[in-house]
Structure 1
Amino acid sequence: MSKKTKENKKTEKKNKGKSKVVKRILIALLIVLMLAVVGIYCAVGYYYRDKFYSGTTINGYDCSEKSVDYIKEIIKKEAETYALTIKERDDKQDVVQAADIKLTYKDDGELEQLLKDQNSWLWIFSLAKNKNYEVSLDNSYDEASLDTVISSLACLKPENMTAPQDAYLEDTGEAYQIVPEVEGNTLDQEKTVKAVKDAVNGRKEEVSLEESGCYQAPAVRQDDTALTQERDKLNALTTMQIVLDFGHGQETITRDLLKSWLKKDDAGNYYFDEPTVKQYIIDLSTVYNTKGKARDFVTTGGSTVHLTGGDYGWQLWQDKTTESLMNTLNAGQSTTLEVTWLYKAQKHDGNEIDGTYVEISISQQHMWFYKNGSLVVDTPVVTGNPNTGHATPAGGAWNLKDKKSPFTLVGKKPDGSIDYEEPVTYWLPFNGGVGIHDLVKRDAFGGDIYLSNGSHGCVNTPFDAVQMIYNNIEVNTPIVVY
């Protein structure tokens, strides 16, 4: 072996010794480091044995690195300073203080259980995220004290409460309108007590009695469908413009009248009461009817006679007029409605006998027939015998009831048996069985004949005269007898 070879082996051996030393040092350092890490990890784990991890919140409280006792103390202090603000209507409020209800924190061990569940030796896993917990932190308070506080709230005192009022219809005089509801501030006792207790149990800082639905509410509001429909219906029924035309006058059916005629059935439907409407027509009849009313008449001789009897004149047909008016009302129409007459006169003004009429004078035993203002017939007549109880009715105006040609007059006795039968060519009745007719067997007319040989009440007329009248007269022409 050469000297150089020996030296190389010696150097190699020396280097191997150094390498082993370095390895031993590195291993020792690694062990020390690992022990340090384990020690630190265990120390941190030990640190969190009675504290919550950093980043932990419980029910909104920041519990980072806080002990259970520390958190309990905070909760306890907050419980002692707790106050519930009760929000009421009209920006009013009441406050319930913790002392008023003897409120304290009730320790139920839930925080300890939460800390135990945390497992402090796994703290390394808490570094990646925060922990947020919600637990039941019970409060203890005196139920009787809370009941006393609630019952003494100003908002629950009767003198401070205004009852709610329903929306309703109001008549302004021109139309119906809706008066809005009044909310009032009357509280439901049971709902209010529950809302306050729920707020206390939940440790809420305020409770709105409005949002909790504690106030009594109106049953009917201004936008109620039934109420708005009723308003619209009533306005439609009471704003019609209806005018009754009587020819010589008009009557406007006012809104007040329409209202007075309205009734409501069991189903809530409005209708016009027909008996009430008919009574209105009946009342108008007393104003506009002229049939049989007293009137002045200017005779052919120029004198004025006062007529108090008869049936001539205007008479309202109440049933037909009521029917027409009801149809108009039910149709909701605004219109001018012509009334229906049962009997009519020639004119509507004060002088209803004008132009065409028959005039009979008992005292003069004379008859005139005018047509359109012209004298057509001027003739003597024979009227009923007053001395036998057959005087011709006088002092009035009648309308001509009929025209018959030929005709047989039949007179009857009181027992109903036939007294006489008299055929005539022309028959013009105007008052029951009294009328104008010819009589062939009579050859003299006028003078005082009627006092001794008068008729049974009819107006006996010369043939030519009654023929002229018959051919020119119309039914309903006035017949004036005086």
Structure 2
Amino acid sequence: MKKRKILYFLLAFSIAAFCALYVLLGFYYTDSFTYGIWINKVYCTGKNADEANLELKNHSFFNGLVVTAAGGHSYFVDSNMVDFNVDYRDELQQMIDKQNPFAWGLNFLKSRDREIVGNPTFNEEKLRYLVQSWDIFNIEKKDLYELKKNDEGYYLVENTEKTANFDKFYENIKAALYNKQYTLDLSDDSMYDSAAATEDDLNLYSLYEKIDELQNLKAAIKIGDVRISAKPSAVSQWMVTIDELTRAQIEAESQDNPGKGLFLAGDKVTTFPEKYKVEENFVTDENGNILLSCSKIHDFIEKNLSYVDTNSCIERFQKDGKGLIFVSGNKDGKLYDIDKEYESFIESVTGAGPAETEVDLPGKSFVIEGKELGKEYILVDMGNQHLSYYKNGKIKIEYDIVTGNTGLGRGTPVGLFHVYNKRYHTILRGVDYASYVNYWLGVNKGIGIHDATWRSQFGGEIYKHSGSHGCINSPLEFMQKLYESVEVGVPVLLYY
């Protein structure tokens, strides 16, 4: 009985002692964290807000922020460079104030781990300076428009590159630091600005509109089935630029080129204006009309019309075996009047004439398909007084000749004919002559190709004052070769 009382006493004493100890610890935890409290991996039991704050600061690790921009650019914001610091005291004190110090025993039954952000602080001006040093903000800004030129003429390029918006970058980086982020992706388009049009950009665009209108002017010349029109690449060459200013100012008029010393300005032809302006690289009149060189326009017309010159047509045919061959009916071999066609073209450009004009070919002119010559033919170039014999695309015989006397109106007629007969040792008879020849190839009625042993010279301009009665006079040695090579039926093209 006595032992049982002792046991009850000890049990009561132990319970009382435990309760007293529990209450005492509750009073102890009144201004500090209770049993089993971990905050940000730091054991804080028994520590007040100041002590726990110091401990968390010592264990806190945030070295900075990695920012990624478009194009793979990245930048590291070093926390030390902006005096970055984190204070946890306010949150810690709030946690202590909200806890029940006498319920600390419950911590044996549940986890008391906590994660808190704290109150980050840093020098925002230093951050601004640091972000400004990022090279993506030091890129030289380009103009919205750039005028360029290639083989096809002038064209305008719009700058589509976007530049990083500093204010947007700064605000996002600042917010990320306050949230203690380790990485930040700012590659989205919303963080970038498109180039804005400046006054210079608008002026350049206005100039290009004038350039583009000129480059697409509607003016053309048609000769046969060939149409000659000014493409942008050609018109761009006519525009007077600052590099040509001095030459244009002193350009003198010339009979060889009626466009010399003249310029197109809008719908007018004028000499170089006393009052002019320079827009970008282009010379304009006082009204802003870009000057076009009339001499270059004349050169353009002459060059392109030469495309249909008989020899040019023949060369193309001999190269690819097809194409038209234009032949002039004039004794001078001209298919067109270059100065007349130039004037017509200028009228088309200024609107004073139709947009397209057609060349009137001289009388007796004609056009043939190159394939009508076939693989074997004779060319008689009377303008150059030269005969050429071709077979299978290769020249076999060529030599100088003398054709009909144009001074006496006996010029050899143009046309596409065929060798219709061959005679050996024959006499050619006319009203006032009888001439013996060794070799004769009949071409057109009484006109043929034959030797002329009475001549010692051939070629040049002999035909203009001492030419034949219409036949094609040839040196004996060459005529013999031609006679032996050519059969009846071979085409013969006579042209000036």
* TM-score, normalisation: structure 2: 0.36
Larger Rg: 1
